Structure formats: structure tokens, C-alpha cells
Structure 1
Amino acid sequence: MASNAGTRKTFIDSSITIGSSYNFHGLDLHWEFPSTTTDMTNLGLLFKEWREAVEKESKNSNKPQLLLTAAVYYSSVFCSLSYPAEAMENNLDWINVMAFDFGAPTWKPNLTEAPAALYNPFSEVSGDSGISSWIQTGFPARKIVFGLPYYGYAWKLKDANNHGFLAPANGPDITANGALG
């Protein structure tokens, strides 16, 4: 959708129509995850065009302007690609930083991990490092919402007496994927 001006416009117009017709306060984009330089460029264009369209719609309808937000990767860099932080700052009301799913027993079955560590003494992957990376891009802290999960994961431990971080494990426990809500 974001790679073509026409499909971006269709998405933008339809999202605004739906948001306005149901009296939403705003709209949130959740793209997991832009994975090329072109994707990141197009994401920036999408946000710019979306902002322009909600401003125009608000002026024409005399209704309050819809808020625009986005759910984003925990870090400002995804697979060595930087998010378009300036376009996001200029065109979004805030970002929802997904600081979770750093590890789970289905994709890291051999060692326990903290799925949503605020601080992680064993890795740079943490909520703190992610939020810091967004702020280091110049993105204002006042526009960052720190997202934490309301669930966890269970691993089948190799040794019940060794149950800390990085304990040897044999995949998920309790449920098929280890998820506990």
C-alpha cells in the first residue's frame, strides 16, 4: 500500500472516512515492520500525506483533527534500517513503542529469556535501550509511549533448580507456544 501514491491515497482517504464516521479520536498505523530503505522512505511519505489529509478533513468538516499514531519496533533501527524519525516527529502525535517479544520459547527454545525486559544485563535488547535509541534520533520523549505486554511465556526447564535468566530449556511449557495471558 505505501509503495504507490495512489494506494497510499486510497488508504488515507478510507481510514479518515472510517475514523470520522465512527467519531474516532484518531488512527493508529501498525506495520510489522518496514524492511527495506524504500519501505522506510514510503512510511515517511505516508505519514506526511496522512497528516495533510487529516488537517484538510478537519478544516472542511469543522470537526476536531484526528490524532495520528503508529506502533513501532522497540528501537529506532530495524534490521540496520532507521525509521524516518523526522517525518514521524513532524506528522504523528505520538508513537507506541512495542518493547516486548524480545524472546519466546517458540523461537528461542533452548534458553529462558525476559520477553519484555526493561533492562537486560545479558543483551542490548531492552525497553531502555529501545527508548534511548528513539530519543537519540532526536525524537521527543514526550511523544513516546512505552508499550509493555500483559502476558508472559513459559519454558520447559531442563533443570527445575536452574530457573533464572538464560536457564537451559526445552522449548515451550504449559501451552503449545508457551504464551500465558
Structure 2
Amino acid sequence: MRPFRHRRLTAVVALATMLVTAAPPTAASAGDKPDRRAGYHRVGYFTQWGIYGRAFPVKKLDTSGAASRLTHVNYAFGNVSEDGRCYVDGGPGEGDAWADYQRPVPAEESVDGVADAPGQALNGNFGQLAKLKAKHPQLQVLISLGGWSWSTYFSNAARTDASRKAFVASCIDLYLKGNLLGGDGAAGGPGAAAGVFDGIDLDWEWPNWAGEPGNVIRPEDRENFTKLLAEFRRQLDAFGRTTREHHPLTAFLPANPATMDAGYEGGKIFKYLDFATVQGYDFHGGWEAVANQQSALRVPAGSPDNPDFSVEVAIDGWIARGAPRDKLVLGIPYYGRGWTGITGGGNGLFQPATGPAPATFEPGYEDYKKLKTLAGDGYTVHRDLRAGHAWLFDGTTFWTYDDPAVVLQKTLYIRRAGLAGAMIWSLDGDDDNATLTKTIGLGLTTW
């Protein structure tokens, strides 16, 4: 079996290389020095809630082989209070301090096979991340602040010089210094999580642009975002002088050019960032009435939307606004978007639908590890090799997703465009063999 698998992989690599190099150059794909980086960032988001329904503890990053292929793990998410502070919210429906650092992890879920002992200061995901770093010293772990649900009060935190200073100080105190609530026999306490987190990832969705309903939005968010980055960089560097380490600062950036213009001062923000991850997904979804692509490398021929979204549109948009290509990391989805009630025939693409497809956790959203099992089980895999996307269709239900061939094509695009690497949302969507993460590792190996 091994020689056959090797030949098949070689053929896929050759095909993906041909497709990327044959494409007409754009601002992103016309990089003058492909493969010039000494190494690529490979950033994976670990979700706090993945330990529940998805049964994805930190240990799986080790046993699957994912951890050895990653450079960064971003922990999703940290919350921002209404008065502009970082905090761990244990309130129902809000935070989950139990998952973060209070839950005693049993031996069978522990990275090192040792169960959390009663009364120890650090349990839960934070404790396991510390063990993962000990086993994989190349890994850096960042706390990601905000996300779709917790960006409500970012604008408050960034509003004034005083609020920015207080916000940043609270985040460094909580996460980098590790001063957790608790102690006196309970998990937590001063310094309990020290050393778990190496830096900060800002997932403000979005400055001066509507995200989740209820988010606070101000026109001055655009300038204040840059000022907030400057304050993070200043305080992180000051903290680094005490630890004798560099503490990275990153940000998650949108794919929509209109959002780029409304919320960000173009290339100015990269003065403070180690790198930024760019949304490479959610271009379309079950909130629309037509089955479409959610993460295509290029806008497909026949797209009903003009203009439309794609990976190339997003990357070119940031480069046109002054972003250095070697600080842009492309986001890759480990999930698909789906529609059902498809009419119109053909392969389902661009056909009307009655609504989002039924799924395990959320209508219209399904993990890769589940979608891969549908291929051949009543579903046919379709590909647009030129546009760089794939989908499943059974005549009624349609799923757009990234499989290993699409992921490999995107890694070759990253290399040719001179980008900084790949980001994963989210690691719990992969299968138990970390197939997609290993594909990224293969595609971004520095030869």
C-alpha cells in the first residue's frame, strides 16, 4: 500500500503545483521570491468547548501528530468586560473557567498520562497546554481575545489612552503572568498559569463594522485599533524585558474589503504585529438562499455574485492596502458549509436551496472529519481545479469544504505568494490522524 499512496500523493502535488503556477498572477500570487522564508507559521485554534461534544482534549494534538506540525496554538477565547478588562467569565452561557483551568483532567485525557491531583493550582485546558508545550518545545501558545461572540466590548477597551493601558495590563496580568482567580485549595491563584501563554492574539470582529448583534461600534475604532496594537506591543516588550523573551502579538483580519477599509489603517497595523491571520472562509453559507463556495482559492467562473469573495481577493485586498506579504497567514477551514433542498439539477453549485443542511452541532456547519465520511456514501465529490475548491452533492444536499487536495493546493499558493504560513479554524474539525494538519505540514515544509 505504501508505494501506491506515495505515487498518488506525488501526483496530487504535481497537479496542485501545475494549477497554482498556471494561474494568472495577481498582487498576491506574483511574489518575486517564492519559498524565501526560513520557515512558515502553522497556527491552529484550539477551542475551549471542544472537550465536550467533539471530545477533543488537548491530548489529541499530541496523539494525532498535529502538535509536531504546528508552530502556534491559539486558545479560543478570552473575554472582554464592559469596562474594558480581560477576565475569565464563569457565568452560565458566557465563559467556562471549569474547562479553562478548574476541571481535574483524568489520566486517560492527560498529555503525559498523569491525572490532575486534588488541590493543584492548574487543571483543565490550561494545565494540559503547559504539558503539551513541555513535550513540544517548538510550540508557542497564544490567548485569543474576542472572537465572534466576545467582541462586544472591544470598542470600550480601545477607546482612550487610559482604557487601552488598563485593558492591556489586565490581559498580561491574567494570561501571561497567570494570575487566575481562585487559590486557597481551589484551582487558580497568583501565578497559577504563568508560562502557559506566550503572547496575545486579537480577534476583534470587527472594528467599526457590524459583527454579532449588540457589539459596541464607533467610527473611531479604526484609529483606536492601531493605538491598541501599539499599547499591546509596548507592554508586551516591557514584560519581555523581565522574562528575557519575545512575546508575540498577532491579529485575526477580515476577508471583506469593505471591512478592511472601515476598521483598519491598512499597513500601519503591521508595525506592531508579528503576523496576522486572514479569514479564508465563510465567504458564503446557509444564511444565503443559493448553494455556493465558502473558501475557494479564486472566484469560480459563473459565480452569481459580482464582486465575490475568495482567498485571493482577501489576500490581494490586504496587500493593496500596504500589508507586507511575509506577515500574512492564510486561514484554512476544517469545516464545511451546507445547504439542503437544492433544486435546479447539475452538480448543485449556484443552485437555489431551501435552507441550511442538517448537521451535528449547528445547521449548515459540519466538521471535516464527518464530511469526509460522506464521500461515496450517496454523495459525489466535485472539484473546480481552476478555482481551488471542492464540494459534496447527493442531489438534494450540498456541502462545500476543504479536503486534503484543496488544502495542499492552498499551501502551494502560500509558498508562491510569499505568505507567512497557514492558520486553522479549528483543530477539533480534523480527523483522529490529523490528516489536514499533516497536509499543511507537508505543503509548508521548508526543503
TM-score by length of 2: 0.38
Structure 1 segments, 4+ long, off by >6 Å, are none
Pairing of 1:1-181 with structure 2 (within 5 A): 1-17=157-173, 18-21=175-178, 22-23=194-195, 24-35=197-208, 36-59=218-241, 61-75=242-256, 77-78=258-259, 80-81=261-262, 83-105=264-286, 107-108=287-288, 110-121=289-300, 122=303, 123-159=307-343, 161-175=345-359, 177-181=363-367
Contact 2:297 2:311 in 1 (8 A): yes
**How many angstroms apart in 2 are the aligned matches of 1:8 and 1:143?**
24
Name the SS for the 2:297 alignment partner.
Answer: coil
CA distance in 1, matches of 2:260, 2:276: 19
In the alignment, structure 2 segments of 5+ residues that lack a partner are 1-156, 179-193, 209-217, 368-447
Decide whether the 8 Å contact of 1:75 with 1:131 is kept in 2. no
Matched to 2:255, the amino acid is Y
Shifted more, 46-55 versus 117-126: the winner is 117-126
User: In 2, are the aligned partners of 1:157 and 1:167 still within 8 Å (CA)?
Assistant: no
User: Which whole-Å CA distance do the structure 1 matches of 2:246 and 2:222 have between them?
Assistant: 25
Local SS of the residue matching 2:330: strand
Bigger mean CA offset, 153-162 vs 82-91: 153-162
CA distance in 2 between partners of 1:58 and 1:86 (Å): 25
Deviation track 1:46-84 (CA, whole Å, cap 9, x = no partner) reads 00111111111212x142021000011024540752512
Structure 1 gap ranges (5+): none
| 1-structure distance, mates of 2:308, 2:284 | 13
Query: How much is the aligned-residue C-alpha RMSD, in angstroms?
Result: 1.9
Relative distance call for 1:89 and 1:127 in structure 2 (3 A) is same
> TM-score by structure 1 length?
0.89
> Could you say what secondary structure the match of 1:169 adopts?
coil
User: 1:157 touches 1:163 (CA, 8 Å); kept in 2?
Assistant: no
CA separation of 1:178/1:47 partners in 2, compared to 1, >3 Å: closer, same or farther? same
Structure 2 Cα separation of the partners of residues 12 and 145 of structure 1: 24
Moved more, 168-177 or 45-54: 168-177
Q: Which amino acid aligns with 1:155?
A: W
Stretch moving more, 17-26 or 136-145:
17-26
C-alpha distance 147-166 of structure 1, shift in aligned 2 (>3 A): same
Q: Which moved more, 1:73-82 or 1:45-54?
A: 73-82
Q: Which amino acid aligns with 2:201?
A: D
How far residue 25 of structure 1 moved from its aligned partner, in angstroms, is 2.2
The one-letter code sitting in structure 2 at the alignment partner of 1:85 is G
Q: Which amino acid aligns with 1:94?
A: F
Q: Give yes or no for contact 2:201–2:249 (8 Å, CA) kept in 1.
A: yes
In structure 2, the CA distance between the partners of 1:134 and 1:98, relative to structure 1 (3 Å rule), is same
Instruction: Give the conservation status (yes or no) of the 8 Å contact 2:250–2:276.
Output: yes
Report the residue type matching 2:223 in the other structure. T
Distance in 2, matches of 1:179 and 1:87, equals 35
Q: Percent identity?
A: 29
Of structures 1 and 2, the larger Rg is shown by 2
